[in-house]
Structure 1
Amino acid sequence: MREPTRTLAAMVAEHVELALFEQSLGNIEGLNRPFGDRVADAAEKTGGSVLFDVRVDGDSCVQRMAAIGYGVTGTAIIVMGKNGQLGCASVSGDTALLVAALAAWNASPLSEQARVDHSATASILLARLRSSGHFARF
């Protein structure tokens, strides 16, 4: 029986997970590096770029969420649970607009970021990812 073909976006997410796993093995004396540093390192190691890194306020399980973009190949979303555990998933078409909105917010000047609340967009993105079967354990 032939193995089902994995999508390019799913393979990207797997590469990001591997980069994050390698980082966890390299933690010195059990100390984790900051989430943003880990995401940036994973993006560099996998040939992507960080689109956003935001706090997720009001969620009982997730405290941070970031996206790494790979051009036409796809986007990987990384979440950090309240317990420090990381998870990764590829983004599907129905969440692309939310990712783009958060990326635009992240690229805006700090004065604009302070005026525009991104938390609703981040919460909706996380809810859509969960409804599609991602991050259920968080």
Structure 2
Amino acid sequence: MCQPARIFAAMVAEHVELALFEQSLGNIEGLHRPFCDRVADAADKTAGSVLFDVRVDGDSCVQRMAAIGYGITGTAIIVLAKNGQLRCASVNGDTAVLVAELAAWYASPLSEQAKGDHCGAAIILLAKLRNSGHFTRF
């Protein structure tokens, strides 16, 4: 990825983090909105679209993962840790196949989702992100 693209991808993640931070300030009486609502709101506020929102079974730290796409600009991944913390990172081209696989599963009808399995792709994507320095500590 060339330097301007890296900078813009980092800016995408920062905008999503800002939208999520603003949401946390708006929590009423300590109640948190559901993860899917928070991701959808962040996507709306940052002119992106939700590509997927999945459970991450079998991970010791992360319980949910979602992606917000920005066309050719890039993709931001948001994870919800088991302790309730939200983290965000931009992803690069080597994770595009996994993001596309999860997005296709997410966009399929519920009857097809029940037949398919997204867990393997989600765990591999999370592992690749951790290997590149994202989501290593919670």
TM-score after normalising by structure 1: 0.95
Query: 1:7 deviation in Å?
Result: 1.5
Partner of 1:28: 28
Q: Distance in 1 between matches of 2:27 and 2:44?
A: 18
Partner of 1:106: 106
TM-score after normalising by structure 2: 0.95
Please give the residue correspondences for 1:79-94 in structure 2 after superposition, counting only pairs within 5 Å.
79-94=79-94
Partner of 2:62: 62
| Alignment of 1:39 onto 2:36 | no
CA RMSD of aligned residues (A): 1.1
Q: Distance in 2 between matches of 1:38 and 1:70?
A: 17
Q: Distance in 1 between matches of 2:96 and 2:117?
A: 19
Q: Distance in 1 between matches of 2:103 and 2:117?
A: 13
Partner of 1:74: 74
Higher deviation after alignment, 6-15 or 86-95? 6-15
| Alignment of 1:15 onto 2:38 | no
Q: What does the per-residue CA deviation read over 1:56-99, in whole Å, with 9 as the maximum and x for residues that have no partner? A: 00000000000000000000000000011000000111101100
Percent identity over the alignment is: 81
Q: Count residues with an aligned counterpart.
A: 135
Query: 1:113 deviation in Å?
Result: 0.3
Which amino acid in structure 2 is aligned with residue 32 of structure 1?
H
Q: Any gaps of 5 or more consecutive residues in structure 2? A: none
Query: 1:41 deviation in Å?
Result: 0.1
Q: Distance in 1 between matches of 2:57 and 2:35?
A: 16
Which amino acid in structure 2 is aligned with residue 62 of structure 1?
V
